Amino acid sequence: MSKVILVTGAGRGLGTDIAREALAAGHQVVATGRRPEEVEKTLGGPQDNLLVTKLDVTSLEDAEAAAQAAVDRFGRIDVLINNAGNLFTGYFEEISPAQMRQQFETNLFGPMNVTRAVLPILRKQRAGHIITITSTAGLVGMEFTSAYAASKFAEEGWMESLRHDVEPYNIHTTVVEPGYFRTELLVDGSTVWPELSVDDYAPRTAPRIEGMKSMNGRQPGDPARLARALLTIADQDKPLQRFVAGADAIEAARAKAMELLAQAEASRELGGALAYADAHA
Q: Which residues are known to be catalytic? A: 148
Counting DSSP H helices and E strands in the chain, the numbers are 9, 9
The Cα–Cα gap between 105 and 259 comes to 30
The Cα–Cα gap between 163 and 178 comes to 20
Please state, as a whole number, how many other Cβ atoms lie within 10 Å of the Cβ of residue 158.
18
Residues 6+ apart with CB under 8 A from 256: 139, 140
Kindly report the backbone phi and psi dihedral angles of residue 13, in degrees, each rounded to the nearest multiple of 5, phi listed first. 60, -140
Please state, as a whole number, how many other Cβ atoms lie within 10 Å of the Cβ of residue 256.
14
3-state secondary structure of 82: strand
Helix (H), strand (E) at residue 73: helix 60-74
The full DSSP string for 162-222 is HHHHHGGGTEEEEEEEE-SBSSSTTSBTTEE--S---GGGHHHHHHHHHHHHHHTT--SB-
Kindly report the backbone phi and psi dihedral angles of residue 11, in degrees, each rounded to the nearest multiple of 5, phi listed first. -85, -10
